[in-house]
Amino acid sequence: MTNFSATAANIWAVADMLRGDFKQSQYGRVILPFTLLRRLECVLEPTKDAVLDAAKKHAHMGDAAAPLIRKAAKQQFYNASPMTMASIGSTQTLDNLEGYVQGFSANAREIFEYFHFSDYLEQLDACDLLYMVSKKFATWDLSPEAIDNHTMGLVFEELIRKFAESSNETAGEHFTPRDIVHLATSLVFLDDDEVLSKPGVVRSLYDPTAGTGGFLSEGTEFMRSLNPDAVISVHGQELNPESYAICKADMLIKGQDVANIKFGNTLSDDQLPAERFDYMLSNPPFGVDWKKIQRVVEDEHRLRGFAGRFGPGTPRVSDGSLLFLLHLISKMRPVSEGGSRIGIILNGSPLFTGGAGSGESEIRRHILENDLLEGIVALPTDMFYNTGIATYVWVLSNRKPASRRGKVHLLNATEVFAPMRKSLGSKRRHMTEEQIEDIVRAYGDCLEDDNCKVFDSTDFGYRRITVERPLQLAFFPKDEARVAALRADKPWAKWDAKTQRAVLDALAALDERYLSRSAFRKALRKAGADVSAVQFKLLQKHLGEHDPEAEVCKVKGSPEPDPNLRDNENVPLKEDIREYFAREVLPHVPDAWIDEAKRDGSDGEVGIVGYEIPFNRHFYKYVPPRPLEEIDADLDTVSAEIMQLLQEVHS
């Protein structure tokens, strides 16, 4: 097999020609489409004459001739131009090369359009580099006989990696580091070796945020390593035009059906609505808002409910990560058809953001109560090109083995990494093959230790009960500051002058303090101020103050809750709320009670059900502070050094 690294390095050396006239971040935008162009030319070379004959023969048919020409090419694409890269010529190079690209069938030509290849051809021509670059690529034998599809895919992936490294400021938005791709893929395909190795197996793989196609390539490679004869269909959708072009080119080079790679926003315009897949992998953008598509998403949630993708709820508009997770869940095959497995990379927010009843909590509830979450692996920080934040691989399945049903496996791999010799943007760490194998093995064995813990799905659920305490008010009718605040309040100005005068005269005639609201109101009425309920609330607002010695205020014979003392308690789902309340609340506030009107919308029980996955709390390790003696000794040492430096300055 051809050394793909050497081939890729040889091709990337074209960057030496571009240096000075192009930015480093632009090298890939020239090299990738030229590589694709040369590969496609070499693939089509054996049937070129037949294609030209077919194109000439069926010219009168226009676009309808495409299937016939494609049949002559014996490929999914063709090029009906009589030119080749070698015959482009040193004069009119730009026109000739653009005409050559236009000779491709629509499915291949589209890729060059998304690369904005024509713009870069013009730039190369303006720098007198177009003929030199074209001639250089024309000398390389990239035919399937010299480099098979598998190896050519590796070459293209290596070029993509070099491109990502050269433009690492933005690479993380569209390019997932290959070590993370390999880990996530290995976790998703875990325990499927026997199924995937059967003769004639057919499997589908999907990535709704395909980027440059890393997950699709790695997943294909993983399945083929288990079964070279496996039939694998890859599907994906990508929003960024350049990433879409790279992904589609990579799939075309590997002989995949590029019709399954779609362009557009997955959340607002799912272009594979009826498809269901065996395996799904995704690295959606972290913390990106979905305001632009908010109406479309919320309409689907409201109008279609669980018949659509977002039935459980929608997260806050500032982070759409969980929308991608719901989208993937909607693409799962029914268990009766073999089920599905999902691997998705998320930041920490989806684990815990949003309290009981929120969109995020309802999404987690749907996942956990339907036993879809198999496990979560915490990754080290500084693993991605454009962020150093904590990230996690979620593994979901609707066909869990019996040993994992009703369970969730949390694996802490935050300390499993190797430092990189050279940082790439924010990426300062990577995982070695051995480390990835260790993580996958630990996840597969599911044995509990300090870094591996197994929980019941219900362990992450709780009921948020509302705890009320009685309203107890003392009133101070003669407090000058309080009366002044009352008169300065806007609602007071709306009272008629007669009522204002009556109230002020009454307050002046009352006692200094009242420990009963009913007694205060009776005294107020007796003093000549008979106010309405709304007006009395204004008096209560300014003249009343919480006092534990005061009489409990009542409404229709029942204690009135004090909104300022209202609190919530999260009671674990496995506990009885009244036993919890008696144990954890009443000893501290014996006059409290549970508001039983606050009930869950799904099960009707007291308390709103919520779910969160406090990953870090389960792996927290207490580190005691250093002894004060050690700190004092260090301070003395530093102080002595500073004094010595100051003496040297003054001497």
pLDDT score of 352: 93
pLDDT score of 292: 94
pLDDT score of 170: 46
CA distance 456 to 409: 9
Cβ partners under 8 Å of residue 300, min gap 6: 308, 309, 310
Kind and range of the H or E element at 120? helix 117-126
The beta strands (E) that lie in 483-580 are given as 544-546, 554-555, 558-559, 567-572
The pTM (predicted TM-score) of the whole model is 0.85
Mean pLDDT of the chain: 91
CA distance 210 to 204: 14
SS3 204: strand
SS3 558: strand
User: What is each CA distance from 563 to 379, 470, 471, 472, in whole angstroms?
Assistant: 43, 9, 8, 11
CA distance 86 to 93: 11
pLDDT score of 168: 53
Mean pLDDT confidence for 201-213: 91
Mean pLDDT confidence for 135-144: 93
Mean pLDDT confidence for 358-377: 97
Res. 309: pLDDT tops 90 = yes
pLDDT score of 648: 79
CB 84 within 8 A of CB 138: yes
Q: DSSP letter string over 369-390?
A: HTT-EEEEEEPPSS-SSS--S-
Q: What is the chain's alpha carbon radius of gyration, rounded to the nearest angstrom?
A: 35
Res. 426: pLDDT tops 70 = yes
pLDDT score of 651: 65
Q: CB count, 10 Å around CB of 213?
A: 30
CB 70 within 8 A of CB 105: yes
Kind and range of the H or E element at 49? helix 48-57
pLDDT band at residue 171 using 50, 70 and 90 as cut-offs: very low
Nearest to 402 by CA among 191, 648, 173, 139: 191
CA distance 33 to 111: 8
Res. 466: pLDDT tops 60 = yes
- Vertex 514 angle, CA 509 and 515, to 5°: 170
- In degrees and rounded to multiples of 5, residue 34 shows phi and psi of -65, -40
pLDDT score of 1: 46
Res. 536: pLDDT tops 90 = yes
Res. 613: pLDDT tops 90 = yes
Kind and range of the H or E element at 420? strand 418-424
pLDDT score of 620: 84
pLDDT score of 175: 67
Give strand pairing partners of 235.
206
Specify the amino acid at residue 207.
Answer: D
pLDDT band at residue 217 using 50, 70 and 90 as cut-offs: confident
Q: Where are the domains of the chain?
A: 1-166, 172-461, 473-559
Classify domain 172-461 at the CATH topology level: Rossmann fold (3.40.50)
Nearest to 77 by CA among 202, 206, 237, 249: 249
CA distance 573 to 171: 43
CA distance 42 to 142: 6
User: What is each CA distance from 43 to 79, 135, 144, 145, 255, in whole angstroms?
Assistant: 11, 18, 6, 9, 10
Q: Is the dihedral of CA 193, 197, 198, 204 positive or negative?
A: positive
What are the tens digits of pLDDT across the range 66-109?
889 989 998 888 999 999 999 988 889 999 999 999 999 988 99
Res. 34: pLDDT tops 70 = yes
Res. 630: pLDDT tops 90 = no
The beta strands (E) that lie in 444-592 are given as 452-456, 461-468, 473-475, 544-546, 554-555, 558-559, 567-572
Mean pLDDT confidence for 322-333: 97
SS3 324: helix
Res. 515: pLDDT tops 80 = yes
| Residue bearing tokens 């288990």 | 226
CA distance 303 to 309: 11
pLDDT band at residue 257 using 50, 70 and 90 as cut-offs: confident
What are the tens digits of pLDDT across the range 441-455?
999 998 899 999 999
pLDDT band at residue 172 using 50, 70 and 90 as cut-offs: very low
Nearest to 153 by CA among 77, 206, 218, 233: 218
Res. 169: pLDDT tops 50 = no
% of residues, the chain, pLDDT over 90: 70
Q: When comparing pLDDT for 169 and 403, which is higher? A: 403
